[in-house]
Amino acid sequence: MDTFTGATAPRAAAGVDLTDPQTFLNDKDGLVSLWREFRREAPVHWHPVRGRAVPGFWVLSRYHDIMEVYRDNKRFTSERGNVLATLLEGGDSAAGQMLAVTDGRRHRELRNLLLKAFAPRVLEPVVEGVRQRADRLVREAVARGTVDFAQDVAEHIPMATIADLLGVPPADRDYLLSLTKEALSAEEADRSAEDAVVARNELLLYFSDLAEDRRDDPRDDVVSVLATATVDGRPLTEQEIVFNCYSVIIGGDETSRLSMICGMHELIRHPEQWRRLRAGEVTVDSAVEEVLRWVSPAMHFGRRALEDVEIGGRVIRAGDVVTLWNSSANYDEEVFTDPEVFDLGRTPNKHVSFGYGPHFCLGAYLGRAEIHALLSALRTHVEDAALIGPAVPIHSNFLHGYSSLPVSLRPVR
């Protein structure tokens, strides 16, 4: 086995900076090729951080190595960050309070509490609202003929759904959408990180006020669940409530929104797959899973090692940051047949786009339902589609997708 000794990075990694969003603005084929080379030459390797006084991190690119870490919450922790942005800064301010960056007993308690609000039975009326909303938005888009699919269609489905789930009053929803877009604005190269921080703080304050209202007047929504819950006879702290509301609104938006946008993009690029979907030759269920695999909207998650661990013949030392690259695992030829082929009928399809293990995405059922609703509406109302302008990629080392996708839509005759 090897330990990291500061040796030169493997050939596959030479000149590649995974902390730089610019790396991920390259064409998709180039990124798929890069990850293939990583899996072959350097499946577990050390990545230095250039130009910053912070340690480097381990990069895992093989499916089975990544799954090993996802499953293991004893030797790896999320409480010191779960994405590069927080891991490299040494921690997350919500650690131990927000589900995604909490481990151990408190994680189980918070997850069990939130599972009540995310159970498929409870979500049935929410999902019906998703279907109606997706169908209406697609019909309106087809009637217009040309739209920005990202801004006019895709972004309105998950955000409205989350607002339903959280119990946000209708009068506040435009405000909530504007804050959320601003909070994510650092994903665009020309936007201010400071403005994003201000928007995040305003979101937290908004949910603090809403939770106070729900304590006095509980409803059938997530904010009420959090605001009125007790664990071991004690209510959740205000920070636990607002951090987990924030987590629901940000996490619940990203995966499905970006998958919808990229899914539309790929259906245009692969007309035979669009034909198969419209003809009913593949199910919408299998199409949803292939879109999630192909897009891999959350490119990575991360952990910090709590003890020395050997993975792939390398020794990861206690305290080291380990990054798990879903965007590579989902194309691993050891797991997926012809992974570089976009195949809406692919089965089985054990992608890791929602993570895995104890931190498997709580909103996976709802995310799938949203993508399903959109694909169903497209299949029903759209004859064909075409790009009428450049797709604008998100500027991020974490998320993959587009912030703008101008398209023309021709209705079914």
pLDDT tens per residue, range 343-368:
999 999 999 999 999 999 999 999 99
Distance CA 54, CA 83 (A): 15
Question: For residue 131, which amino acid is it?
Answer: R
pLDDT at position 27, please? 80
Dihedral (Cα; 278, 280, 284, 288), 10-degree rounding: -60
* Tens digits of residue pLDDT in 219-243: 888 999 999 999 888 999 999 999 9
Q: How many domains does the chain have?
A: 1
402-404 and 382-387 beta bridge pairing:
unpaired
Sheet bearing 406-411, strands edge to edge? 146-148, 406-411, 382-387
Distance CA 260, CA 295 (A): 9
User: 26: pLDDT confidence band, cut at 50, 70 and 90?
Assistant: confident
Q: Whole domain around residue 200: which residue ranges? A: 2-411
pLDDT at position 364, please? 94
Lowest mean pLDDT among 244-253, 301-310, 337-346, 369-378: 244-253
Which of 286, 299, 297 minimizes the C-alpha distance to 349?
Answer: 286
CA 371 from chain center: how many Å?
Answer: 13
Q: What is the CATH number of the domain that holds 240?
A: 1.10.630.10
Is the bond leading into 339 cis (omega within 30 degrees of zero)?
no
**Own/partner pairs, 333-336, CB within 8 angstroms, 24+ separation:** 333/36, 333/39, 334/62, 334/63, 334/64, 335/63, 335/64, 336/293
